[in-house]
Amino acid sequence: MTEPRPFLVGGERRTSEEILEVRFPYDHALVGTVCLAGQADLEDAVGAAELGFERTRRLPTHARTGVLTRLAALIEDWSDEIAETITLESGKTAVLARAEVARAVETLLLSAEEAGRIYGEVIPLDLTQATTGRTGYLRRVPLGIVLAVTPFNFPFNLACHKIGPAVAAGNAVVHRPSSKTPLSGLVLGDLLVEAGYPAEAVSVVPCTTDLAERMVRDDRIAFLSFTGSPAVGWHLRAIAGRTRVGLELGGNAAVVVDEDADLPYAAERIVQGGFSGAGQVCISVQRVFIHRSVFRTCLEMVLERTGALVSGDPRDGGVDVGPMISEEAAAAAEEKVGEAVEDGATVLAGGTRTGTLFAPTVLTDTLPEMRVNATEMFAPVITVTPFDDFDEVLARVNDSPFGLQAGIFTTRLDRAFHAFDECEVGGLIVNDVPTFRADAMPYGGVKASGVGREGPRYAIEEMTEPRLMVLHRRG
């Protein structure tokens, strides 16, 4: 057995006596072990970040761009190994793991480009006689220490979505990866130091939840960027004190298929959006509303494509749906589906579990208050419901505590814009599923789904603040 992997504090590798086992979700085989950071290590990490920030905030644009470009190149060099690590620790299929690494490279290159677009502003202040001769010069400056807390479902790209913009802006970074998937985060930290970012400004600290909360309470943390469950995210915001917070949380994403939609395409995208990653995606398709005039036809297409999916070992290139992250997560999904069936729902596909494998599941005859609709499933489960009136279905979309993204399939531009006006979501995806995300776009939710936006350009805005100089020209 290999030695436990050390963590990073100020760019230096450290070990500890407390060891975390990382296991393959498919069969629980041991993937590796990781040393956990203790309280003293976290104190040192934040202290190192304070020192590191004194260097990073002075880095010229070309230096920050160069670090991110080199980091992207290093990831490409190690892409096969990183993808394999993602599959083994998260259970993500090999195809999806390779796609995640490719997206991470894109995220970092976008961040590098945006580093050169952190613009300022010249503001005329001579608007009254009393302010004659004065001009304002506004520029954006980095906040300080960014605490990045990332989940298991996209352990590499979501880390890049936090670290890339933080580096682009000149901040120091302390990264706390998910305890389920710490290995890929540690690889990223090593590569960031190798790419030339000041070592003191780079820490990757797998640690217990209570120690992570202590960091959140630390006033030296300038910005908390958290992706994870709504319950945890809002709790962290409540205890964060003066620290600025960005939350990318969950949802129960809805998709509407109107009567004029391209049904084969809609069915294909619904199946992919609902079951990719075993449904463990914040914007996974969960609630599907189909116009009654095409309901039966579209539903049959969805069921046909669902039945063709192959579940199994995610290392197998022919597998479409891998395991859920843990048996507890799969059992929770099974319980919600069983509860819905007891209350009158009908299982049209799936509904069964073998260990961590949960069969892609299609339900109908559900009610809005059932947990399969009202809560985030985070599992390969979709509910399918007919609708008659377009305004009625938009109200159904909004009948949720969440508001991350929604999708609508229609050929009518007026309906697309009407939905854009009415849907209470961070993003409306027209003629695709809510699961669509381009890494450059502003991404985030409203209501219980979070606060703030990701996407390199928008995250940089969150991780910087305006600073004004007023120049008085005398004489």
Evaluated on CA atoms 204, 210, 216, 221, the torsion sign reads negative
Q: Are 386 and 290 in contact (CB under 8 A)?
A: yes
Q: Which of 89, 100, 114, 248 is catalytic?
A: 248
Q: Are 405 and 425 in contact (CB under 8 A)?
A: yes
Q: How far is CA 55 from CA 10, 48, 59, in A?
A: 13, 11, 7
Q: What is the dihedral of CA 374, 377, 383, 389, to 10 degrees?
A: 40
Q: Which of 207, 282, 298, 423 is catalytic?
A: 282
Amino acid letter, residue 280:
Q
Q: Are 75 and 82 in contact (CB under 8 A)?
A: yes
Task: Give start and end residues of each alpha helix (H) in 116-248.
Answer: 157-169, 182-194, 209-217, 230-239
- Rounded Cα distance between 380 and 374, Å, is 15
Contacts of 150 (CB under 8 A, 6+ apart): 158, 159, 162, 175, 176, 177, 178, 185, 227, 228
Tokens of 239: 């205890």
Around 401, how many Cα atoms within 13 Å sit in the side-chain half-sphere?
Answer: 11
Is 248 among the residues known to form the active site?
yes
Question: Which of these, 338, 348, 393, lies nearest to 370 by C-alpha position?
Answer: 338
- Rounded Cα distance between 152 and 175, Å, is 13
- Rounded Cα distance between 400 and 385, Å, is 15
3-state SS assignment for residue 288: strand
| Residues with a known catalytic role | 248, 282
